[in-house]
Structure 1
């Protein structure tokens, strides 16, 4: 079987980029002949957004690659912005079936995360032209850019672009529910739920230190402000890894709290070791996440997760089994859960560690994911 992967890298490398890379390698190891067409949003990003509705350069680039490689199917991860939905029509022109993984909600709303200005933003689910998203300037606080992306959304609904995709891969049942609630035009029979994965970890055996850890973007929607508010109330060991617009706030917080270490942006190996040795991961997101790789990495390292009870997270983290759940944005509730964890005896904590690793083994291992992906591919091409 020959599969052509299409992916657009983000300006700053993120979870979707990692998923694409690891999945492509895993499928190659499982006997799939793979090729890739890669795009990048890092340079000339405004120009690429302007071409987002239908990038003719991308269209012809994909047609040329299809003629050379002759794939059995195409698997798209991220097509925004440089690739554009034109790549779907290139596949249609060449009569090659398409599978597309939906990592976020950009097909529905210019915001992509259904969150804006400190709160969930669900108006784009209601159908019609997403004027409220435009008026609120949900993309980069720009009326024009939000309007342009909204136009692209409605254009491809009118063209029936998404009806041309054989299978959409949703990461969770929650994501599937959101897309079914929208009027984007994707049918339930086109959808299949398949979780992300992380590469195999042989054992969760590790010496856990008495510290919490946060790994992620330092931004309001990720909830780093909730962590700051919580740890202002008491002193306990915390490691923060990441970068983003709230970095100054994190620097100031670290300067006045001797128990907090801010390590900045770190590579994956450093993150792995930090997750493995930490007592618990804090994941305080206020927006609808797809399937956060940080959570899966924590579980694979036998590290429980204290996370906000929002969106797809409760389908991954089971309260009082492989972690704890707290009310999104509620620093008082987060403090309560942290204190519960701190005062828990080691025997009970060990149950959480084992349950975290068992969750990874049963649901998020690379073997389970590869087997399901192969079945999806086979179903599409038969």
Structure 2
């Protein structure tokens, strides 16, 4: 097949699991003999824009007419079999869907988060789960609370885009790839068309290294934010240390706004080490040296790459018992689940997984087996190809519904302009 991948790459200043998924899927498809081309924008490029260009970026979030024209021309010239959309924020916008409709090319879209029903895509606010905008057509709660980067002004373009483009997404995409059943269930309950939502787990490349021996550390690998459970983990580890410790150190690897707090907390301790930001090879080695990988996220993670990567290395995980983690971690078989947001529960699971070598070894073996059955490259390729063929067949057969009419598009553009100006005010 000839596939055109559409993606707005996240800033290189913060490592992105989504960027990695896109790159790995492109490599997988090309290795299988498919032709894969890219239509991309990079958030890094915003810094090089003029002052006026930077000011204009929020206005392009709901609708970028230049992208529609450019992409439609390319689609007509190259005629790919299918377009695979990943992230369109902030420089591409849902105008990519109109371009595909203009050229008559079927679209599949990967839902890496919850941006279809929540402006920042997290379903999380003020340290708790939040569904205030789910089912709302205006997403006003998100604006009122400043859910994106703590800013009402920054949240407006996202809320406007979600409101005016909702029908365009739901009618213009033949197949949505959800990452887990848990994510799909939430999206279906929110009103998204169930017949277009299919589960395609992220695949993880075989790391080429599997844990040997019992391991030498507990590893947290991810962004250092409260949403990822970093403060919860620190509290749980302190509780564990006060009760005799785990017998192995906790290693935290990553970067983020809590880095100064983590650095200060780890300073002078023998049972904690902050490793900073690791490159991919260092990450693979760190995972393979671990007794367990810990993923205490406070949010409803759609998948959990670090858990799948641990499974690939034959390492069990201790993860929050909600969201996609429940689908990846089979309690007591491939790892352990703790009560979300509960430091005592997390401490007890960490104690159990570090003090039972035989049980840990069995869970690691089962985790590797689960990876081979559900999250390896061969499975990932099969599900991608099935999704593409289904979308192509759906469009050839007339699809499930027609794309918006020209009048609807004009109305959407008017709404977008009004929303953009409102955001500037």
Same fold (TM over 0.5): yes
Quote the Cα distance in structure 2 between the aligned partners of 1:67 and 1:25: 25
Q: Which residue does the alignment assign to 1:353?
A: 364
Corresponding residue to 2:87 among 68, 78, 95: 78
Query: Secondary structure of 1:146's match?
Result: helix
Q: Which residue does the alignment assign to 1:329?
A: 341
TM-score, reference length from structure 2: 0.86
Quote the Cα distance in structure 2 between the aligned partners of 1:114 and 1:217: 17
Residue 202 and residue 247 in structure 1: after superposition, are their counterparts in 2 closer, same or farther (change >3 A)? closer
Q: List per-residue Cα deviations over 1:294-323 (Å, max 9, x = no partner).
A: 111111001100011011211110110111
Quote the Cα distance in structure 1 between the aligned partners of 2:298 and 2:39: 33
Residue 177 and residue 51 in structure 1: after superposition, are their counterparts in 2 closer, same or farther (change >3 A)? same
Q: Which residue does the alignment assign to 1:364?
A: 375
Structure 1 segment 6-155 matched on structure 2, within 5 A:
6-11=6-11, 12-44=14-46, 47-155=56-164
CA contact (8 A) 2:188 2:194 kept: yes
Residue 271 and residue 47 in structure 1: after superposition, are their counterparts in 2 closer, same or farther (change >3 A)? farther
Quote the Cα distance in structure 2 between the aligned partners of 1:72 and 1:126: 33
Highest RCO, 1 vs 2 (Cα 8 Å, sep ≥ 6): 2
Deviates more, 1:9-18 or 1:62-71: 62-71
1:179 counterpart = 2:206: no
Q: Which residue does the alignment assign to 1:308?
A: 320
Deviates more, 1:256-265 or 1:132-141: 256-265
CA contact (8 A) 2:215 2:288 kept: no
Quote the Cα distance in structure 1 between the aligned partners of 2:145 and 2:303: 27
Q: List per-residue Cα deviations over 1:120-161 (Å, max 9, x = no partner).
A: 11111132322111111101111122122111111012x534
Q: Which residue does the alignment assign to 1:4?
A: 4
1:283 deviates by 0.4
Q: List per-residue Cα deviations over 1:4-55 (Å, max 9, x = no partner).
A: 0011111233111000000011011112111001111223366433211111
Quote the Cα distance in structure 2 between the aligned partners of 1:77 and 1:302: 30
1:193 deviates by 0.5
Quote the Cα distance in structure 2 between the aligned partners of 1:201 and 1:239: 20
CA contact (8 A) 1:127 1:182 kept: no
1:286 counterpart = 2:292: no
Q: Which residue does the alignment assign to 1:224?
A: 230
CA contact (8 A) 1:216 1:243 kept: yes
Deviation beyond 6 Å, 4+ runs, structure 1: none
Quote the Cα distance in structure 2 between the aligned partners of 1:56 and 1:202: 45
Deviates more, 1:55-64 or 1:204-213: 204-213
CA contact (8 A) 1:218 1:243 kept: yes
CA contact (8 A) 1:125 1:181 kept: no
Deviates more, 1:140-149 or 1:111-120: 140-149
Any gaps of 5 or more consecutive residues in structure 1? none
Corresponding residue to 1:209 among 215, 223, 228: 215
Q: List per-residue Cα deviations over 1:228-273 (Å, max 9, x = no partner).
A: 1112220441111000000111001111422211111111110000
Q: Which residue does the alignment assign to 1:194?
A: 200
Aligned residues: 378
Q: RMSD value over aligned CA atoms?
A: 1.5
CA contact (8 A) 2:117 2:135 kept: no
Quote the Cα distance in structure 1 between the aligned partners of 2:32 and 2:55: 39
Q: List per-residue Cα deviations over 1:311-361 (Å, max 9, x = no partner).
A: 1211110110111010112111111111112221x3222111101101100
Quote the Cα distance in structure 1 between the aligned partners of 2:207 and 2:266: 32
Query: Secondary structure of 1:125's match?
Result: coil
